[in-house]
């Protein structure tokens, strides 16, 4: 059994749960030096006294018998041997220096995953890389929320945040499964419904939230942009838009109005399959309830090739309805004045040669680097396979499992195997860790203390170090210890430990670490104010809402968020007649995590593909039959689950993406990318199904 020391022998410690990014307030109960139970903390605005089953399972993850507590080194025969932490860090540093000497600092990258979030943890990684001489920061976020963020940023100048559903009269949800993915928001949503708010859900699947909707429409995947333009058309034609906003704060309204004119309800029906009458009805809801509209867009849009433009069109719609920075609409938060951790990049010392050492993927997708602050993970694979602009030879992965979660699994694994040095820092020996030269045992969030900000609530929090398994390495220690061994300037990581970083970060806010420690429910760093755009310029280049983007025009892309039909409609309907969407979340699972929790595994025994009964009948497939899903990238065999006919749009099949043994990313596309964000095709993948005959 794994051994851990707790900070107190008996009692409770209040902190935030980071089993997902909702960061609910929790109480960790400790008895005789062991974590026994997790209960919700009252008065924390994110969850207000509630908790989900994953939060309750924290002790099972923390004390999991398979948790790593010693570094592992791969032997020449492929097996792993435990080694001492000092030896592991010394050897890794030595290998990094060898790569730098031979290829330049640029040949080393680092990759942060969902497991640790994206605040100071991301900054540590960038600080390390930049001091090392590399811009090559990768993360799960470039297949997660960065596409949406870029869409919002291009129009409003700020990213996307959860709206306050409780104040809305109309809630529009596109491509999101809120009760499963963001359980805390269900309270606000329920409050709004009690007050009579309407709910419109747009999703090819009848997900749990769709069951509650006033209008539920199932679009052909990847056609949300057409719907958005159809709704813009109705709003403008019926002169039901915010005229003052358009007059004073918008660039490109005339072009938007002219382009929207093409999207009659009939055209929207032809593109998306949503009946023209339903499009008119949604427009009527919008017009009657504006400006009290909460529109939330999930990953369903940005996992398509035309995702960013669909997002931009929906943001324009929200703005036209008057929902910009109002009580329930597009939140423009004040950001906390935290000290900056990321260092500016040093001059390109050690780069292969002038001109070909740009951040990986940034020539193809400049917006991902310039607006999203990330390199392109799909292009990273090319660089590892020596097919990119320059070679990537070393990679440190923390809290990610790209061998399962990135598209085109076979290519990802081949690329990771080709590296001179792959280091994986994780809680478990995952599929990605299995490919590494060194695996380092990671600390969970209960073994770290960090500053967290929740911008839509404008609150700042300090999480608590609650317990520690002997031998694990926390995020700060990892980067600092490597930096010390690499001979970095002492100023790069001058803080001896996390507490010192945590004291430094909020200094500019005037809020002290002691105050944060005294307020586990968080501290509001600024009051929420609304319609700030009336008194100060928006954070876009022009200071206005950019319905037309000069930035994109400069990159040679369309300045308007024009609608292009989804990729799956372009590939051969004969060879690939079905459209696969992947990643519909499950309450108990988190990407590749938690399948090792026995109680959860009883409920999710194996991967399955959901099929509409008509499609199943056409293939002679019945519930439980083995089928092969085939795309032009790869194939995977899994069991069929024939769903009720209303659960899924006919012609669409769905597979969860977190199964290590059967990763659906074997069939998803890494090289069909959104031209703005570079996002891969994780939803709307053209496939065919073949029944596997078993004897
Ligand atoms: N339990 C649990 N919660 C999670 C996660 C988890 O793994 N497990 N992951 C977290 C993370 S990192 C993220 S990014 C979020 C993601 O959560 P969401 O943003 O909710 O995204 P998904 O669950 O990927 O997809 C949501 C819906 O999009 C639909 N969809 C697919 N294609 C299209 C389309 O073309 N148009 C439209 N309108 N809909 C489409 C799918 O059917 C699905 O119901 O969830 C977070 N919360
Ligand atoms: N086909 C398909 N693919 C997808 C998606 C999809 O919808 N469809 N969704 C995409 C999205 S939105 C996302 S966010 C990505 C997620 O992609 P990843 O970030 O690669 O996925 P996770 O399974 O969350 O991996 C997190 C890893 O971190 C480890 N971990 C947990 N806590 C800690 C910690 O405190 N420290 C450290 N060091 N490690 C820790 C876990 O054990 C796990 O191995 O997947 C993407 N991939
Ligand atoms: S929703 Fe669940 S997993 Fe996410 S922070 Fe809250 S309790 Fe933790
Ligand atoms: Mo995500």
Residue 541 has pLDDT above 80, yes or no: yes
Query: How far away, in angstroms, is 426 Cα from ligand 1 center?
Result: 24
Is the CB of residue 368 less than 8 Å from the CB of residue 361?
A: yes
Summarize pLDDT for 286-345 with one digit per residue, the tens.
Answer: 999 999 999 999 999 999 999 999 999 999 999 999 999 999 999 999 999 999 999 988
Structure tokens at 384: 């590892």
Query: How far away, in angstroms, is 4 Cα from ligand 2 center?
Result: 25
CA 144 to ligand 1: nearest atom? 14
Residue nearest to atom 6 of ligand 3 (CA): 24
* pLDDT, mean of residues 67-88: 97
Residue 581 Cβ contacting ligand 2 at under 6 Å: no
Summarize pLDDT for 473-502 with one digit per residue, the tens.
Answer: 999 999 999 999 999 988 899 999 999 999
- In this prediction, residue 650 carries a pLDDT of 95
The CA–CA distances, whole Å, from 63 to 60, 68, 179 equal 5, 10, 28
* pLDDT, mean of residues 510-533: 96
CA 113 to ligand 2: nearest atom? 19
The runs of H, that is alpha helices, within 303-388 are 307-320, 366-370, 377-384
- In this prediction, residue 180 carries a pLDDT of 92
SS3 417: helix
Residue 178 Cβ contacting ligand 3 at under 6 Å: no
- In this prediction, residue 352 carries a pLDDT of 52
The mean pLDDT value of the chain amounts to 95
From first CA to last CA, the distance across the chain in angstroms is: 42
- In this prediction, residue 693 carries a pLDDT of 87
Residue nearest to atom 25 of ligand 2 (CA): 400
Confidence of residue 185 (pLDDT cuts 50, 70, 90): confident
Residue 455 has pLDDT above 90, yes or no: yes
Confidence of residue 355 (pLDDT cuts 50, 70, 90): low
Confidence of residue 411 (pLDDT cuts 50, 70, 90): very high
Residue to mutate, 17, 115, 441, 659, ligand 2, most ligand atoms under 8 Å from C-beta: 115
* pLDDT, mean of residues 140-165: 96
Cα angle, residue 516 at apex, residues 515 and 522 outer, rounded to 5°: 125
As a whole-number percent, the residues of the chain with pLDDT over 90 amount to 93
Maximum Cα–Cα distance for the chain, whole Å?
72
Residue 313 Cβ contacting ligand 1 at under 6 Å: no
Confidence of residue 186 (pLDDT cuts 50, 70, 90): confident
Residue 449 Cβ contacting ligand 3 at under 6 Å: no
Confidence of residue 65 (pLDDT cuts 50, 70, 90): very high
Residue 22 Cβ contacting ligand 1 at under 6 Å: no
Query: How far away, in angstroms, is 54 Cα from ligand 2 center?
Result: 15
Instruction: Give the number of C-alpha atoms closer than 13 A to the C-alpha of residue 125, restricted to the C-beta side.
Output: 26
CA gap 674, 362 in Å, rounded: 14
CA gap 681, 671 in Å, rounded: 8
Residue 46 has pLDDT above 70, yes or no: yes
Residue nearest to atom 34 of ligand 1 (CA): 221
Query: How far away, in angstroms, is 187 Cα from ligand 3 center?
Result: 14
Q: Which ligand is nearest to the CA of 54?
A: 3
Residue 559 Cβ contacting ligand 2 at under 6 Å: no
- In this prediction, residue 356 carries a pLDDT of 58
Q: Which ligand is nearest to the CA of 684?
A: 1
Residue nearest to atom 7 of ligand 1 (CA): 590
- In this prediction, residue 346 carries a pLDDT of 75
Residue 107 Cβ contacting ligand 2 at under 6 Å: no
- In this prediction, residue 7 carries a pLDDT of 97
* pLDDT, mean of residues 531-558: 98
Query: How far away, in angstroms, is 454 Cα from ligand 3 center?
Result: 14
Q: Which residues contact 73 (CB under 8 A, 6 or more apart)?
A: 80, 81, 82, 83, 88, 91, 437, 438
CA gap 486, 478 in Å, rounded: 12
Query: How far away, in angstroms, is 572 Cα from ligand 2 center?
Result: 32
The CA–CA distances, whole Å, from 183 to 56, 190, 520 equal 14, 11, 21
Summarize pLDDT for 361-370 with one digit per residue, the tens.
Answer: 999 999 999 9
Query: What are the residues whose beta carbon lies below 5 Å from ligand 4 (ion)?
Result: 144
- In this prediction, residue 344 carries a pLDDT of 86
CA 51 to ligand 3: nearest atom? 7
Summarize pLDDT for 574-618 with one digit per residue, the tens.
Answer: 999 999 999 999 999 999 999 999 999 999 999 999 999 999 999
What are the structural domains, with CATH classification, of the chain? 4-62 (2.20.25.90), 72-145+336-524 (3.40.50.740), 162-330+532-554 (3.40.228.10), 567-691 (2.40.40.20)
Summarize pLDDT for 497-515 with one digit per residue, the tens.
Answer: 999 999 999 999 999 999 9
Q: Which residues contact 188 (CB under 8 A, 6 or more apart)?
A: 164, 165, 166
Strand order in the sheet with 170-174: 215-217, 198-202, 170-174, 293-297
């Amino acid at each position: 059994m794994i051994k851990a020391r707790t900070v107190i022998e008996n009692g409770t410690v209040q902190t935030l749960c980071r089993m997902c990014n909702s960061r609910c307030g929790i109480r960790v109960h400790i008895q005789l030096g062991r974590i026994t139970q997790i209960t919700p903390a009252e008065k924390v605005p994110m969850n207000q006294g509630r908790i989900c089953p994953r939060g309750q399972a924290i002790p099972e993850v923390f004390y999991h018998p398979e948790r790593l507590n010693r570094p592992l080194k791969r032997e020449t025969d492929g097996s792993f041997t435990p080694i001492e932490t000092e030896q592991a860090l010394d050897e890794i540093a030595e290998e990094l220096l060898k790569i730098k000497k031979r290829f330049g600092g640029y040949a080393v990258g680092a990759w942060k995953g969902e497991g640790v979030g994206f605040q100071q943890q991301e900054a540590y990684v960038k600080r390390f890389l930049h001091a090392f001489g590399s811009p090559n920061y990768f993360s799960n976020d470039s297949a997660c929320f960065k596409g949406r963020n870029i869409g919002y940023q291009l129009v409003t100048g700020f990213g996307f945040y959860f709206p306050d559903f409780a104040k809305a009269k109309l809630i529009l949800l596109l491509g999101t499964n809120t009760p499963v993915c963001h359980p805390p928001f269900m309270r606000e949503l329920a409050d709004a419904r009690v007050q009579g708010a309407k709910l419109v859900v747009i999703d090819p699947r009848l997900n749990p939230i769709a069951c509650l909707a006033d209008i539920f429409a199932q679009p052909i995947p990847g056609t949300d942009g057409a719907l958005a333009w159809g709704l813009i058309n109705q709003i403008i034609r019926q002169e039901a838009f915010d005229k003052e906003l358009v007059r004073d704060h918008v660039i490109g309204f005339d072009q938007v109005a002219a382009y929207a004119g093409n999207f009659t309800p009939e055209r929207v029906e032809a593109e998306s399959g949503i009946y023209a009458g339903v499009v008119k009805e949604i427009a009527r809801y919008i017009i009657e309830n504006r400006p009290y509209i909460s529109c939330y867009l999930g990953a369903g849009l940005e996992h398509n090739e035309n995702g960013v433009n669909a997002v931009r069109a929906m943001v324009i719609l929200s703005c036209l309805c008057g929902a910009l920075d109002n009580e329930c609409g597009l939140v423009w938060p004040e950001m906390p004045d935290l000290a900056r951790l990321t260092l500016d990049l040093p001059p390109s010392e050690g780069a292969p040669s002038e001109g070909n050492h740009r951040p990986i993927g940034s020539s193809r997708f400049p917006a991902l680097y310039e607006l999203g602050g990330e390199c392109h993970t799909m292009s990273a694979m090319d660089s590892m396979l020596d097919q990119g602009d320059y070679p990537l030879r070393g990679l440190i992965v923390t809290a990610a499992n790209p061998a399962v979660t990135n598209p085109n699994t076979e290519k990802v694994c081949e690329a990771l195997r080709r590296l001179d040095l792959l280091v994986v820092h994780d809680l478990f020996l995952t599929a990605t860790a299995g490919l590494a030269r060194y695996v380092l045992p990671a600390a969970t969030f209960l073994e770290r203390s960090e500053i967290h900000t929740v911008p839509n609530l404008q609150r700042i929090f300090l999480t608590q170090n609650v317990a520690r398994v002997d031998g694990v390495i926390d995020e700060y220690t990892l980067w600092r210890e490597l930096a010390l061994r690499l001979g970095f300037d002492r100023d790069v990581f001058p803080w001896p430990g996390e507490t010192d970083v945590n004291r430094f970060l909020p200094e500019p806010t005037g809020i002290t670490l002691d105050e944060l420690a005294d307020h586990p429910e968080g501290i509001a760093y600024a009051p929420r104010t609304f319609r700030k755009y009336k008194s100060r310029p928006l954070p876009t280049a022009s200071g206005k809402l950019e319905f037309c983007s000069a930035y994109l025009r400069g990159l040679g892309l369309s300045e308007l968020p024009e609608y292009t039909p989804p990729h799956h409609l372009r590939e051969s309907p004969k060879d690939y007649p079905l459209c696969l969407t992947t990643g519909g979340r499950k309450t108990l699972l988190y990407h590749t995590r938690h399948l090792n929790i026995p109680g959860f595994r009883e409920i999710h025994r194996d991967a399955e593909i959901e099929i509409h009964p008509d499609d199943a009948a056409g293939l002679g497939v019945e519930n439980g039959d083995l089928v092969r899903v085939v795309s032009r990238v790869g194939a995977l065999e899994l069991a069929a689950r024939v769903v009720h006919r209303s659960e899924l749009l006919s012609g669409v099949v769905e597979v969860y993406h977190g199964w290590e043994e059967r990763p659906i990313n074997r069939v998803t596309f890494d090289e069909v990318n959104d031209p703005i964000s570079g996002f891969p095709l994780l939803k709307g993948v053209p496939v065919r199904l073949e029944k596997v005959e078993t004897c």
